[in-house]
Structure 1
Amino acid sequence: MFRLELANGIAIVHLDAPPVNAMSFGRWAELPAVIHDAESSGAGAIVFSGAPHKHFCGGNDVLEFDGITRAGTLQGIGAVRDAMRAVTCSTLPSVAALHGAVMGSGLILAAACDIRLATADARLALPEVKVGAYGGYAMLKAHLPHGVARALTLLGSPISGQRAFDLGFVHELAADANGVLERALTLATEVGKNLASPLGEQIKAVMNHQDDNALWPAYDIERDYAASIMGMSASS
């Protein structure tokens, strides 16, 4: 589940699905309403955190992929897409505080945020290909060199938080999960203050208008392809 906490003018969205914070399609479907509540709260920014659990997000629950139909895949991946779009297109700037495993849809969520912080030993990956699934490339290539985004998609192997920082995907590193959350809250407060003006309120919308023209059609191509492949052996 996603649990909303308001603290000192910041909306903290806790990923709260222990033990590894794996999220079902149904849970992703809840996130747009959580983002709406954050926007309505008067908060200046959003921070996503998996603390105090061991991992930021283990990705989607792989058990959902067993026997999934094309219709179910379209609906489920559509819920993930809508969740990511709610984050990206929110009026509030967002900061991801990454630690432990940042896998699959968890990595896509991080890519949907405006700023990403991580521990050096965090593990970031798109392991979908290893379980016969596909998705995430469209989001990652917006922030990473195309060769790196392709390698992550094709290999399914993780890179460290340190490597993600070296590549520019992560803005800053912190020593541990508590440190990365603390720093994320500090940066979120700073960004929220910077955008607290009539001009600032429109900056995210202007950036999104420039960035998103190709993003969501590309995401839909991934969704439709995944649905056609994953639903072949099951009736729709």
Structure 2
Amino acid sequence: MTDFIITNLENGLFTITLNYPEKMNCMGFDMLEGIDKAVDMAKINDDVKAILFQGAGERAFSTGANIKEFEKLKDGEVKRWIEFGNDINNKIETLSKPTVAYINGYAMGGGLELALACDFRLVSDTAILASPEVSNGWLPGWGGMTRLRRLVGEAHSKRIILFGEKLDANEALRIGLITKIVQRNEVQEFLNKLMRMKPIAYALAKSAIMDSTRTTLGTDVDFDVLAVKISHDKE
């Protein structure tokens, strides 16, 4: 595992730490590759009951892309960068296991996009969340625009993406961008509750919530009947 990523499995919790604190855990290709490998490990390991993403240090979860690295990319490399980040976040979003981002300090750009791919976002009272890409002349490229709009709606998405507004923890909670404001010692309690969930029921319910293609009442009912039967038979 790359030095930019630290992983730890303890009592069912798989922690993935973004480890570049001197640069506020900004993400280059090496870190992305580390995240990708860590997520693959968590997916296939039956001992993993929940996954926690966090940033090293006290200043940031992640401030997003490593700008110096990004600005040196050639056209083909930019395409790979965007596709790779998208693939990772899609992989995180579709994991059947619970995923939590703990945000202490800044979550900006690609860092916010990674957090948006998680099921839950727990933040400290000092957290700042922002999507400054448009202000800097490019776009959020790792699925953040779609996930943000789905989570908080069009009006708030425009504030954050088009206007570049930075949100503190209280405002992020008010608009539904985050799950909860917590003290660091409350994170484990939240995770313990998640790890007590029945895994098959959790996975099926998560799939149903996220599946935007099931738009008719009949289809919803059919899925719900099937999901309840499967969870009842398996748990």
* TM class by smaller structure: 0.7 to 0.9
Residue aligning to 2:115: 110
Query: What's the secondary structure of 2:60's corresponding residue?
Result: coil
Q: Where do residues 57-206 of structure 1 align in structure 2 (5 Å cutoff)?
A: 57-135=62-140, 136-174=144-182, 179-180=183-184, 182-196=185-199, 198-206=200-208
Query: What's the secondary structure of 1:102's corresponding residue?
Result: strand
- Could you tell me how far 1:27 is from its partner in structure 2? 1.9
- Could you tell me how far 1:183 is from its partner in structure 2? 2.3
Residue aligning to 2:211: 209
**2:12 is equivalent to residue 9 of structure 1:** yes
Q: Where do residues 34-49 of structure 1 align in structure 2 (5 Å cutoff)?
A: 34-41=38-45, 42-49=47-54
Higher relative contact order (CA 8 A, sep 6+): 1
- Could you tell me how far 1:207 is from its partner in structure 2? 3.0
Match of 2:55 among 47, 50, 56: 50
Determine the C-alpha separation between the residues in 2 that align with 1:80 and 1:125: 18
- AA at the equivalent of 2:11: N
- Could you tell me how far 1:157 is from its partner in structure 2? 3.1
- Cα displacement string for residues 84-121 of structure 1 (whole angstroms, at most 9, x for unaligned residues): 01110112111111111111011011111111111222
Root-mean-square deviation (CA, aligned residues, Å) is: 2.1
Query: What's the secondary structure of 1:22's corresponding residue?
Result: coil
Change (3 A) 1:192 1:210: farther
Displacement over 4 Å in runs of 4+: none
- Could you tell me how far 1:131 is from its partner in structure 2? 2.4
Q: How many residues align?
A: 207
Determine the C-alpha separation between the residues in 2 that align with 1:26 and 1:79: 12
- AA at the equivalent of 1:195: K
Query: What's the secondary structure of 1:23's corresponding residue?
Result: coil
Query: What's the secondary structure of 1:141's corresponding residue?
Result: helix
Determine the C-alpha separation between the residues in 1 that align with 2:130 and 2:19: 20
- Could you tell me how far 1:76 is from its partner in structure 2? 0.3
**Unaligned 5+ residue runs, structure 2?**
216-235
Change (3 A) 1:142 1:15: same
- Could you tell me how far 1:212 is from its partner in structure 2? 10
Determine the C-alpha separation between the residues in 2 that align with 1:64 and 1:139: 25
Query: What's the secondary structure of 1:28's corresponding residue?
Result: helix
- Cα displacement string for residues 34-76 of structure 1 (whole angstroms, at most 9, x for unaligned residues): 1121123311111111143421111111112324332111100
Between the aligned residues of both structures, percent identity stands at 24
Greater C-alpha radius of gyration = 2
**Unaligned 5+ residue runs, structure 1?**
214-236
Determine the C-alpha separation between the residues in 1 that align with 2:39 and 2:103: 19
- Cα displacement string for residues 143-191 of structure 1 (whole angstroms, at most 9, x for unaligned residues): 11211111211122311111101111111112xxxx33x3232222211
Change (3 A) 1:211 1:101: farther
TM-score (normalizing by structure 1): 0.80
